[in-house]
Amino acid sequence: MSQIKAITISIGDELLSGKTIDSNNAFISQQLILIGIPVIKKLIIGDVREDIIAALDWGFQEADILTLTGGLGPTHDDITKSVLCEYFGVGLKIYPDLLEKLKERFARRGLKFSSINTSQAEYPENAELMDNPVGTAQGMHFKYKGKHLFVVPGVPGEMRFITTEQIIPKLTNMTSTLVELLDIHSIGMPESTLYELTKPILDEYTGAIVAYLPKRGMVSIRVSFSSMHKSENQAILDEIYTRIRELLPKHIYGRDHETLSSVIGDQLSDQGVKVATAESCTGGLIASLITDVSGSSEYFNTGYVTYANETKMSMLNVRENTLIKHGAVSEETVSEMLSGTLKRSGSEYAVAVSGVAGPTGGSDEKPVGTVYIGIADNSKQYIRRFQFGTNRIINKQMSANNALNLLRLFIEGQL
């Protein structure tokens, strides 16, 4: 059997303008490669009849599987269904059961059901509908000249549900290749250095496909194998992760769907302890990342956003003399923020951050991007100075991620 190939197409004027980032194509590609179907090309087009038709013609010539995302809403600019009817030479069919469910959905939310919403129960006659319980637009599956077209809403949550629950199961039986993936997550090491250190290990595994995926101070190593022997490959991937984790324990923090926040959450839960945060330049971002994890109330106690010097003193008992002598961005201030956080919150661990986020406010001694991050328990403190760049948003993100990683290392006894 020859390898099945796919093309993903996203529809939306907002995608072309840059107002909305096209994350849908990326997600669909990730899901397809997991079942051995490579995406050979991607396309973004506007809500234009001629462009949609041309994209379908081109896609059916180039690939076996097409995915089409967007344009399924009830407003005048959502033309995907009407163009599909024209393309396949069919009419629209109304589904009374879907219409009734739509009306019930609106009633439950106390919303008026407008006649325009009736279109959400109308679909091309040759479409096999794919259930979408998280939205109002159903997915569609078309078979055309031995090839397949899957059409899904552009709303990311709805797209993800239909892709994982409907499309992937349908396609799994169409490919003879299984792909096993391992994502190894690192922080605080340049991509080039990570490559040099890990390449000798990865070169030992014949058939492994390796990619390095950098993102703002963090790099993921993606390792994949194509094979029918799922259990054998999984054992190899586990071995690879263990070896690289043991090589770089301060930088490798997790794998696959793990995040820094989820890893820390597991550590704190295992110990039955809590953490509290004190943030200045990050403005509560560390606390937000920690509480992104469901169940974080078990181990996250409280967070203090002490942006001004006055609140550092009033909330965390930072001494005025410390601020005058050393400044808010200093090891001494962060040390007192840690002590105040532990005392006031009653937590076993504390995280504190103070820095110059920028783009203004720096000095020769403490330029923009200077950040002090501290971790403490009731017996010791660890404080480190970082020097990031000049972009305010990136500095906040880098500070928060590095704070979480230091907390991980502190809990593990690596600091």
For 260-412, CATH number out of 3.40.50.2000, 3.90.950.20, 3.40.640.10, 3.90.79.10 equals 3.90.950.20
Residue 324's pLDDT is 98
Given this chain, do its domains 178-255 and 260-412 carry the same CATH topology? no
Q: How confident is the model at residue 176 (pLDDT cuts 50, 70, 90)?
A: low
The pLDDT score that the predictor gives to residue 2 is 60
Radius of gyration of the chain measured on its C-alpha atoms: 26
Average model confidence (pLDDT) across the chain: 93
Predicted confidence band of residue 325 (pLDDT cuts 50, 70, 90) = very high
Tell which CATH architecture fits domain 178-255. 2-Layer Sandwich (3.30)
Task: Kindly state the percentage of the chain with pLDDT values over 70.
Answer: 97
Break the chain into its structural domains and give their ranges.
6-172, 178-255, 260-412
Residue 177: predicted pLDDT: 63
Whole-angstrom distance, CA of residue 159 vs CA of residue 139: 8
**Which top CATH class is 6-172?**
alpha beta
pLDDT at 1 over 60: no
Q: Which helix (H) or strand (E) holds 276?
A: strand 275-279
Q: Which residues contact 335 (CB under 8 A, 6 or more apart)?
A: 374, 381, 383
Residue 356 has pLDDT above 80, yes or no: yes
Is 400 a residue whose pLDDT tops 80?
Answer: yes
* Residue 337, pLDDT above cutoff 60: yes
- Split at pLDDT 50, 70, 90, the class of 115 is confident
CB atoms within 10 A of CB 296: 19
The pLDDT of residue 315 is above 90: yes
Instruction: Give percent of the chain above pLDDT 90.
Output: 78
